[in-house]
Amino acid sequence: MTTFLLVPGAGGDDYFFHRLVAALEERGHRGIAVRLPAEDESAGLAAYADAIVEAGAPAGPVVLVAQSMGGFSAPLAVDRLDVERIVLLNAMVPLPGETFGEWWGAVGQGEAARDAAIRDNRPPGFDEVGDFFHDVPEEITQDLLSRGEPDQAERPLGEPWPLDSWPDVPTSGFAGGDDRLFPAEFQQRVARERLGIELDVIPGGHLVALANPELVAERLIAG
């Protein structure tokens, strides 16, 4: 049995992983969805690392899965957990000293998303429901939206990423082939330039763990 420690993105809501936790359990593995103190204006990246460690430390060896902004927080817990590997899931990859706010321009996310929208005959510009939920089942989308949008405090968005380098543990990742926020080819380029790794492209959008948890579970288990 493998334990997967699931770190969410902006908003820090563990609910985004509830279907993936169930899919992992059905296959004889364990998923622990982390809830980050994202609504707390006093909580910075160090507090996010504390929350990840608190959730994962009792579990023994873990595979650390980072979704979206989780790429900023998950690596901060590696030196305090027994981490077998890191798996990126449509995740941001920061450089030392880079802030969340700086990341977007540094990697060219806006241009990449705009080019992908034009290529796919979609209006350029951010559409929260369309960009995030276009492939999520309607009943799951409505259930999540009825909960209200999770708050994201500003403090961690402006903090420089504190590590000197990416943690020295095996790292791999998946890019959603239908991700409208972080197009797959964009994610692959960033991971190649910053980590020297090749991301596998899988069907699905930015919230693929909600849209197709069975697929994500199978790919995580396969390693």
Region of poorest pLDDT, from 103-112, 143-152, 158-167: 143-152
Q: What is the pLDDT of residues 138-162, one digit of tens each?
A: 999 998 888 877 889 999 999 999 9
The alpha carbons of the chain give a radius of gyration, in whole angstroms, of 16
Is the whole-model pTM more than 0.85?
yes
Q: What is the pLDDT of residues 26-52, one digit of tens each?
A: 999 999 999 999 999 999 999 999 999
Domain count along the chain? 1
Q: Which amino acid would we find at residue 54?
A: E
153, 177 Cβ separation under 8 angstroms: no
Q: What is the pLDDT of residues 190-210, one digit of tens each?
A: 999 999 999 999 999 999 999
Burial class (CB in 10 A: 0-12, 13-18, 19+), 58: exposed
Mean of the pLDDT values across residues 70-92?
98
70, 174 Cβ separation under 8 angstroms: no
Q: What is the CATH number of the domain that holds 178?
A: 3.40.50.1820
User: What range defines the domain where residue 205 resides?
Assistant: 3-222
> Percentage helix, strand, coil, to 5, in the chain?
45, 15, 40
Strands 62-67 and 171-176: unpaired
